[in-house]
Every structure is written in structure tokens, then in C-alpha cells.
Structure 1
Amino acid sequence: MKVYMFFIGVDIGKNHHEATVLDSVGKPVGNSIRFNNDEEGFRQLWETIPAQPRQFAMEGTGHYWLNLYTFLVSKEEKVLVINPIQTEAFRRGQIRRTKTDRRDSWVIAELLRTNAVHASYVPEQRVQQIRDLTRFRFGLVDQVSDLKRQLLAVLDRVFPEFEKLFSDPFIRSARELLRTVPLPEEIVNFDLSELSTLLAEASRGRFKDTKAQEIKKVAGCSVGTRFSQDAARLQIRCLLEHIEFLEVQIADIEAQLEELVQNQDQYLCTIPGISTTTAAVLLGEIGDINRFEKVEQLAAYAGIDPTTVQSGEFTGTKNHMSKRGSPYLRRALWLAATPARKNDPGLQAFYEKKLAEGKHPSTVTGAICRRLLNRVFVILKEQRPYEKL
């Protein structure tokens, strides 16, 4: 086992970092080192510390730690990334709860020296690439959802009946209608035959002349406001274009993810309900499955483990998900739960049974998430396709 002589704790910041060096007995070696978050600053740190067996630790604060971590690893240094919760717990146990960059770097160095920290998982490059893309995709999906809410809010003012005209107000036919004649007054004045043609082409023949007539009738009786119609027209056009622009980007990301997943040695897509995109999220968030010895640990990491409330003779019975750990992994499991039960008679029977017992649908969906995670754990551990029991 390698014996380290110096322990360096680094407090991470956006523009500057601060490092404290402790020797093996906890004595500070010189003053703390403040350096820039750039290559010159990294070299300053690396060249200032005595070239004896040394070990670095830093908090995984946002993304600001990654560049320094990469630099030090390239120099074959031993680097630990730790969860800020660990340093905060240590700080709360101190009588003087001073918080400065210098103090924080000392805390990290002391925890490292006393071996009182657990290193956070840092994924390898290909896993990190999948993780970055899936998280970015989630962000774009959320933006699209927000833009759709904004568009519906505009329509609620000028054409509140629009949403009930289609099974989904954002299907292709509805979008073409909004793109061409977004306001009720414009629809009323639009030629009926042209409206029928527009709907027929957009719906691939699903909507006939009767649909055009229905839309005209509803538009003619609309109670939407006539104020600020020019502004509403522009808002509808801009929001619709923004939505479709982001949807193209999401499709590009999903194509890239599909390629990355296909290049991975995995069988997640053999599990009913797990799409390629969901598999990408699972791979990116879980990373090396061998860091989880038991499925309970993976469930805790996903935040779908139950909370426990107990005091004296009292033990709580209405427990909830802890919702700690990776929100992205938890979200992927939740989204996969519905298609999983619809494609698995066993899960569907379980769902219906629990509903009949009076369980809330969300509670049952959470239970399906746990069963789904059990399958994911086994498939990743054993590296084999899913086999229905």
C-alpha cells in the first residue's frame, strides 16, 4: 500500500481554486495556494507542491472541478472527488463553523488525510459522454414542455376552444392550422375548401371536410379576446417555431445516443418498456454496475428507496420515496414504468391488483419502478438478455 506524505485539499470555484497542503501528521505545509482556473494556474499548483508521494481531493462542485481533475490525472496524480455533503457534515460537527475558501480546502485535506471520505464515482469518457447527452436532452425536453404551456396560455386568451378540437393540440394537423390561420377570425374568413385540403394533407387523409366545417363553426362562436391579436399571432408563430427547432435538436441527440448505446456491450433494450433513449439514461447514470453490490444500493442511488420514520415505540407506516440520489435515473425509471407494464402482462396484472386494493396509481407506479430497477440490475450484472419468467 502506497504511503502518502502530503494531502492536498482543493476548494473549487468558478474562476479561482484554493488548495491547502497537510503533511502526514496534519501540519499545514506553508500557506494555502490560490490559483486560477486555467492551465497556468494548474501548473502553479502542481509545481509548488513538493514532489513526494501526494494525494489530491476536491469537491465535485458543479462542473468546475472537471478541468483540474483532468489535468492532475494526466500527470498521473492520485485524485479523489468527494461529495460536498461529506465536507458539510464535518463542518457541522465543528464548534466554530467558519466557512472560507481557505478553511474549506483545509477541511477537505484533513478528511483526506484521516481517510474519512468516500470517493465519488467519476465515469469513464464514453459513459460521461452518454450522461452529458441524456441530461442535455432532458433539459431540451423540459424547454419544449414549457414552450407548449406558454403557447396554450396564449391560445386560452384568443382561442380557448382550440385545445378541444384535436386529441393533441400539438399534432401535425393542429400545428399546420396554427401556422396558417392561428386566430378564430382568420379561420372564419379562410376558404373552406383550402382549409379542408390543409387538414387532409397534414393528417394524411384522416381529417375530412366535416373536420374543417367543425373548426369553422367553433371558431365562429369563439369567446376568445380580440385585444392584442397582432401580438398573439406573433407569439404563436415564434413559440411554434421554437418548439419545432428544439424538437429537431432532440431528434439529433437521440440519434447520437442510439449510436453510442449500440456500441455498448449491454442488453437493457431487451427489457420490456426500455427504449434506446431510456437505456442511454440508465447506462449514463449507473455507469459501472459493479460499484453497487446489492440492488438496494442501486435503489438508494436512484432515490426510489423508502424513507423510514421511527422513534421509540413508534414506527411509521406511510413511507415515501427518499428521492435522493440521481433525479435523472429516477425520472427515466418513472417514464419507463408505464410502457413496461403495458408490454408485460405480469406487471399489468400487478398494477391492476394494487389499484383494486385501493393503492394510489403513483404509489403503484413507484413499485413498478422498483421491479424494473431489479431487472436492470440483474441484466447489467450478468451481461445477458432479459428472460421472461
Structure 2
Amino acid sequence: MIKDHETIDVFIGVDVGKSNHHAVALNRAGKKLLDKALPQDEAKLNALIKSLSKHGRLLFVVDQPATIGALPVAVAQAQGIPVAYLPGLAMRRIAELHPGEAKTDARDAFIIANAARTMPHALRTVEVPEAQVAELAMLCGFDDDLAKAATATSNRIRGLLTQVHPALERVIGKHLDHVAMAELMAKYPTPAALRRAGEARIGALLRKHAPRAWKGWARDISAALAAQSVVVSGTDAAGIVLPELARMLAQTRAARAAVLGRVEEIVRAHPLHLILDSMPGFGIRTQARILTEVVGKEFATPGHLASYAGLAPVTWRSGTSIRGDHSSRKGNKTLKRAFFLSAFASLKCKDHTSRTYYEKKRAEGKKHNQAVIALARRRCNVLFAMLRDGTVYEAPEAAVA
């Protein structure tokens, strides 16, 4: 919701694009003041804003505030103009109210501008991010990409091992998240190579990276090799592919570790770190996601924050035939995942408050995921109060004492 919406004189709707945008400007009466395409260029954007400033106070609205929309947003903010964005789902539903089925940049820009003029409640403000939060957002996005790449590579390795030697996959596959197994597959990628190396050499390699588990792993690998003597077609090709995949997996995990180190530095230096760190279940990655998705946004109540995160239940009622509450499928997926993972992690913490609430929900008949989401919703209320008051978390028992 934009503050002082009634004081805005010109509503600029911009349908952003990779190389070109389309802008439509409407005055308060709905008269079109501008309708033109403009390139992804700072000078052109400044000229647009300057030409419209003579009509009064401006509001700059985009459909994508990040990535391809980052430059228009930054230019408008540098000019001191309030910036907002219209979420994609809201825009699609608003577009259905307009006549015609065409999908053009000019039509989309007009819909954005008209929605900003007539439906201010549908808009979301875009604040100037803190330098720390902006850096965190970029690093966390890259970390997410690396995590997906590591998972895809690991699954590909397991798939190839299952194809050529299932018994070997059952041993190596479940420990593939350990650096020792990636190094092993890079040096001895086929069953024949592992047999030639022997248990002693396999153990020596594993011992460098897994000083506690190497002996058992080497013994299990030798037993798995003895369980299959036939050579499956494609094993030689797998010997070419597997070491490359193993090196890719090791490089990806090393990159994640480097990114996590920088993320941890930024999170620990942020003023809200002590507050977030005091609450059980919040690790460095989840704290980083809370900072990137919550800082700079205003929420009037805990319910608003829960709704934004997609944790607030949705009530369905229609006469007497349909009644019930269901989990929301909307909201900020990144923030919802952070709350869910932190709630799940809190079940193993020394503070048994989360475990007690979780077991209460299970006793009410809720499934595991439903109980964790309910716990995440409760923790959302607590976090809202902590951020609002600037206080650290206190367990109920400690507070009573």
C-alpha cells in the first residue's frame, strides 16, 4: 500500500523488458499523458521522468522490481520518486477485467498504470535496500542456484552408478554428500578401477577426508564390488562421465562453502543478527533469507507478515457443503521455506516449546507437514514481536522464572 496515494498526480506504469520497456502515464482523471517504448537506458529514463514532473507528483510502478527491472527502479529512486510494483498474480487477475485478449507491452503498461491509479491496495512499496541486504539477496540467489546444481549433479551420479553397478550405488550413493566420495569417484570412476585399486588404496584415499568413517566405507565398497561380476553395457562410457560429474560436484560444493562464508560475515555484522540468532532454529542461511525478504517492508500486524509469507490459513466456505481451512498456495515462497525449515530445525533444540506445540498439533490429527506449518505460523508471531520491539527471544520457562 502506497502512503499518501491521494497526493499523487501522475501514475507511471512500466512493463519492463530485457532490452526495452514500455511506459504509460495517466493523470488522476485517467487521461493518458504518455504511451511510448523506451530502451533500457538511464538517460532515456531520466528524460521520461523529467518530462512528466511538470504535471505534479509522480508514482513509478513496475511489474518486476528486480533483475530486468532493477535499473528503472534505481533511476526513479535516485530522482526521489516513490516506487511500487504490481505483483504478477494480481496483474493477471486485473487484466481479466479489461476488454480484449491481446497480450502486448503497451496494454500491460496501461493496466499497471490504471491499477496504480484506481487500486492502490494492490501495490507493494519498493524501498531502497540496505547495502548489506542487497548483497545478501544476490549471494543467497547464487547459493540457491548452486544448491540446485549440486543436487542435479549428485542425482546424475547416482543414476549412472545404479545403471552400471547397483550394489556400489547403495554404498557410495548414500554418502555422496561427503567430499571423500566425490574424490573417490573422480579418481576411480568404474568398478574395474576400484577393483584394481584394492581396499588398501581406497581406504588411504578416503582416510584423508573421512578420518573416522574411512575404514567402514572401504570395507563396504569392497563387499559391494564382490557382489557383481558381470559388466553392464555402457560402463566404459560411465568411466568418462562419472569423474567429470564428481569434479563438478566438488567444485559446486566448494563454491557454496565460499559463498556461505561471505553470507555469514554479512549476517553477523547486521544489527538484527542478535535478535534472529537468539531464536532456536534460525541458522545463518535462514537468517539471511529473513533479512532479504523482511527488512525494508512494513507489516502492520503478525497476520500481515504471515499472509505475506503464505503461512496464514485460507478459509473456504460456501453454504453448508464446503467448510474448512486450507494452507495458502500464495505468498513469498522463499520466506515460507525459511520459516518452515527453521520450525523443523527448532524441534531438535534444547528449548522444548516448539516440540510441545508440534506434538499438540499432531494429537489434534494434523499430519507432519501441517503441524510444522502451524508451528511456523506461531513462530512468525513471535518473530514479528521481536523485530517490532527489538528484543531477543526468551523461552517461556525463562520468562516465567
**Fold-level match, TM-score > 0.5?**
yes
Q: In structure 1, what is the equivalent of residue 130 of structure 2?
A: 125
SS in 2 for 1:292: coil
Report what 1:370 is aligned to: 377
Task: Name the amino acid aligned to 2:44.
Answer: G
Structure 1 residue 50, shift from structure 2 partner: 5.6
Q: CA deviation at 1:338?
A: 2.5
Q: Tell me, yes or no, if structure 1 residue 65 matches structure 2 residue 69.
A: yes
Helix, strand or coil at the partner of 2:85: strand
Write the deviation string for residues 331-366 of structure 1: whole angstroms up to 9, x where unpaired. Answer: 112222222110032322333454455532222222
8 Å contact from structure 1 (residues 151, 236) kept in 2: yes
> What is residue 399 of structure 2 aligned with on the other side?
none
Letter in 1 for 2:204: T
Call closer, same or farther: CA 1:93–1:283 in 2, change over 3 Å: same
Paired letter, 1:125: E
User: What is the rounded CA distance, in whole Å, between the counterparts of 1:120 and 1:224 in structure 2?
Assistant: 63
Structure 1 residue 156 and structure 2 residue 162: aligned? yes
The aligned counterpart of 1:14 is: 18
- Structure 1: stretches of 5+ with no match in the other structure: none
Partner of 2:37: 34
Query: What does 1:197-208 correspond to in 2, within 5 Å?
Result: 197-208=204-215
Q: Aligned with 1:49: secondary structure?
A: helix
Query: What is the DSSP-based 3-state SS (H/G/I as helix, E as strand, rest coil) of the residue aligned with 1:35?
Result: strand
Residue pairs, 1:298-377, within 5 angstroms: 298-317=305-324, 319-343=325-349, 344-355=351-362, 358-377=365-384
Residues in 1 aligned to 2:187 and 2:257: alpha-carbon distance in whole angstroms: 25
Residue 90 in 1 paired to residue 100 in 2? Answer: no
Q: Larger deviation: 355-364 or 248-257?
A: 355-364
Alignment-mate amino acid for residue 84 of structure 1: G
How far 1:327 moved relative to its partner? 0.8
The residue aligned with 1:297 is: 304
Q: Is structure 2 residue 272 aligned with structure 1 residue 287?
A: no
Instruction: Report SS of the residue matched to 1:309.
Output: strand
Alignment map for 1:162-173 (pairs within 5 Å): 162-165=168-171, 168-173=175-180
Per-residue deviation, residues 85-132 of structure 1 (Å, max 9, x unmatched): 444333322344444322332333333334645431324133233223
Q: In structure 2, what is the equivalent of residue 387 of structure 1?
A: 394
Paired residue for 2:106? 102
Instruction: Give TM-score scaled by structure 1 length.
Output: 0.89
The answer on 1:219 being equivalent to 2:229 is no
Displacement of 1:157 after TM fit? 0.9
Of the candidates 195, 198, 202, which is equivalent to residue 202 of structure 2?
A: 195
Contact 2:14 2:63 in 1 (8 A): no
Q: Which moved more, 1:363-372 or 1:377-386?
A: 363-372
Q: 1:355 to 1:89 in 2, by over 3 A?
A: closer
Contact 1:8 1:54 in 2 (8 A): no
Aligned AA (2:237): A
TM-score normalized with structure 2 length: 0.86
Indicate the SS of the match to 2:300: coil
Which consecutive residues of structure 2, in runs of 5 or more, have no partner in the other structure? 397-401
Q: In the alignment, what sits opposite 2:27? A: 23
Distance 1:104 1:227 in 2: 55
The 2-side partners of 1:24 and 1:296 are apart by 32
Count, aligned residues: 385
Task: Please report how far the alpha carbon of residue 163 of structure 1 lies from its aligned counterpart in structure 2 after TM superposition.
Answer: 3.6
Cα distance in 1 between the residues matched to 2:53 and 2:361? 64
Q: What SS class does the counterpart of residue 255 from structure 1 fall into?
A: helix
The verdict on how the C-alpha distance between 1:95 and 1:341 changes in structure 2, with shifts beyond 3 A counting, is same
Shift of 1:66: 1.7
